[in-house]
C-alpha cells in the first residue's frame, strides 16, 4: 500500500517543520485583513504557527508574521490573534 504524503509547513515562531494539521494558518487576505484561518483554505497569503503561546510570542518578538505575510501587523491585530489562538487551544 502506498503511504500518503503528509504536507509539512514551517512554524514562523520556532522554525520547526511540522505536519500542516498541527499548525494554524494566519492569513493576509486580498482585502488587507490579517486573521486566523482554522480551515487552512481561505484566500490570501498565509503563514503557519504552532498552537502554543510560546511560538506566538516568539513570532511577535521577531516580527516573523510581518515578514511572512509581507505586511505590517498592528498591535491590535496581534491581540486579536492571541485571543483567537486561546480560543482554538481551548476548543481542541
Query: Is-contact 4 48, C-beta < 8 A?
Result: no
Could you report the per-residue pLDDT of 22-43, keeping only the tens digit for each? 998 999 999 999 988 888 899 9
Strand segments, DSSP code E, in 5-74 are 8-10, 17-19, 23-28, 34-37, 45-50
Query: Is-contact 29 44, C-beta < 8 A?
Result: yes
Return the pLDDT at 11: 95
pTM (2 d.p.): 0.85
What ranges do the domains of the chain cover? Answer: 8-91
Task: Judge: domain 8-91, CATH 3.30.1230.10.
Answer: yes
User: Which of 35, 57, 55, 56 lies closest to 45, judged by CA?
Assistant: 35
- Measured in whole angstroms, how far is the alpha carbon of residue 91 from the centre of its chain? 17
Measured distance CA(52)–CA(8) in Å, rounded: 18
Q: Which residue has 483554505 as its cell numbers? A: 41
pLDDT at 61 over 90: yes
Amino acid at each position: 500500500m502506498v503511504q500518503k504524503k503528509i504536507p509539512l509547513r514551517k512554524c514562523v515562531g520556532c522554525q520547526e517543520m511540522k505536519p500542516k494539521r498541527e499548525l494554524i494558518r494566519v492569513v493576509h487576505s486580498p482585502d488587507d485583513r490579517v486573521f486566523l484561518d482554522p480551515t487552512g483554505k481561505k484566500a490570501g497569503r498565509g503563514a503557519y504557527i504552532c498552537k502554543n503561546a510560546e511560538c506566538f510570542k516568539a513570532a511577535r518578538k521577531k516580527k516573523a508574521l510581518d515578514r511572512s505575510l509581507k505586511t505590517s501587523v498592528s498591535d491590535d491585530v496581534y491581540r486579536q490573534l492571541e485571543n483567537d489562538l486561546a480560543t482554538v487551544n481551548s476548543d481542541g
